[in-house]
Amino acid sequence: DLFNVSIDIFVSLVMFYLAAIAIAIATCFTAVVRGEVGEDPTFPRYHARPLKNWMNDPNGLMYFAGKYHLFMQYNPFSPTFGNISWYHMISEDLVSWKHLPLALSPDRSWECGGVFTGSATIYRNDTSGQDMPVLIFSTACGDYFALATPQNLSDPEL
């Protein structure tokens, strides 16, 4: 009996993995047919990354207003290190990603040419009860830490 149960469990697991692989292949094929990933055969289909240029560590993944938001260090001008900004992508399923405008870019003198490492979190205002995404980051020179909040909380893409 134990042997039969083990075989049943094994067959169920194999069927589950085969179904998962079939879904992954179908999703990838659909994305390629729709042209969402471009013509580059080396572009990762499931690894969230900018469409071009240099990227570094992810600086925050958060779930807000029905969407996952991913932020990462990024150079919008070159495939090499420099001009550090934060790239922003959103997803409803962590598989399909929409690329958005930069979330943070060094536009103040005290940012010393770059917005570096940090994190993302959701802050709940105890007075209003409203949730608000907050980005926390350090500057290129390491002299400052700062907080950034969305300009428009009603925008689901922030």
Distance CA 113, CA 104 (A): 12
The yes-or-no answer on residue 40 being catalytic is: no
Of the listed 1, 8, 40, 57, which one is catalytic?
57
**Higher pLDDT pick, 2 / 18:** 18
**Higher pLDDT pick, 7 / 91:** 91
Question: Residue 114 CA to chain centroid, in angstroms?
Answer: 19
pLDDT of residue 34: 44
pLDDT of residue 6: 53
Report pLDDT digits (tens) over 107-136.
877 778 788 888 999 998 888 888 999 999
Residue 145, C-beta contacts closer than 8 angstroms, at least 6 positions apart: 118, 136, 137, 138, 139
Find the mean pLDDT for residues 3-25.
57
pLDDT of residue 30: 44
